[in-house]
Amino acid sequence: MSVSIHLPADVQTALWRHLLGDKNGPEEAGFVFARVSSLNGNNVFEHIDWFRVPREGFARHSAFHFELAEEQQAAVIKRAHDLGASIVEFHAHRGEWPAQFSGSDWAGFEEFVPHVWWRLKGRPYAAIVVTATGFDGLAWIEGAGTPIRVTELVANERVMAPTALSPLTRDGYRIRED
């Protein structure tokens, strides 16, 4: 099974600039709203719109962690609902290491992914972590407890491969679906 995220090149550039612009600042986040098509195990998230999270959209916001304010979470889910879209979460990690999701990211997935699946009636969800040197990604296609790897990010003709360093489980368990 493959997962491909498709963005216009100008959106990918603007999103990376937002996420990585302030090298000494806090982690930044944004969301892409996408239509998902699936054919023969190939899943494509096709960009419809995107949204950068403003400073006031965070309940907690530091160089190593963020938590969206409840109002921001609700607004993102409502926008996806109104568009009939799935959500692709993007955020950045600072530092020199290669892209992979942290324990803090997994804790957020454990809470947020099942909530989004419930609110959007089972639409797929994906998450991308970006660093200065690359990205990694996971997608929940068949359920809120079973992530698979994002296999590529496509910006017009440019195809980017993930680091594939993120484990598919956190501490030996999958995200609960209840």
Q: First CA to last CA across the chain, in angstroms?
A: 25
- In this structure, the chain runs to a length of 178
* Residue range 48-77: mean pLDDT, rounded: 92
pLDDT at 141: 95
d(CA 123, CA 116): 8
Residue 60 confidence (pLDDT) above 50: yes
pLDDT at 41: 86
pLDDT at 170: 64
Question: At residue 84, what are phi and psi to the nearest 5 degrees?
Answer: 65, 35
**Are residues 59 and 67 in contact, defined by beta-carbon separation less than 8 angstroms?**
yes
Alpha helices in the chain (DSSP H): 9-20, 70-83, 103-119
d(CA 152, CA 162): 6
pLDDT at 61: 85
Tokens of 43: 């899943």
In our burial notation (b when 16+ CB lie closer than 10 A, e otherwise), range 117-132 reads beebeebbbbbbbbbb
> How many whole angstroms from its chain centre is CA 27?
13
Q: Which amino acid is at 167?
A: P
d(CA 54, CA 19): 11
Between 67 and 75, name the one with better pLDDT.
75
Q: In the chain, what are the domains? A: 2-160 (3.40.140.10)
> How many whole angstroms from its chain centre is CA 175?
16
pLDDT tens figures, 129-176: 999 999 999 999 999 988 999 999 999 989 999 999 988 876 643 444
Q: Which amino acid is at 31?
A: F
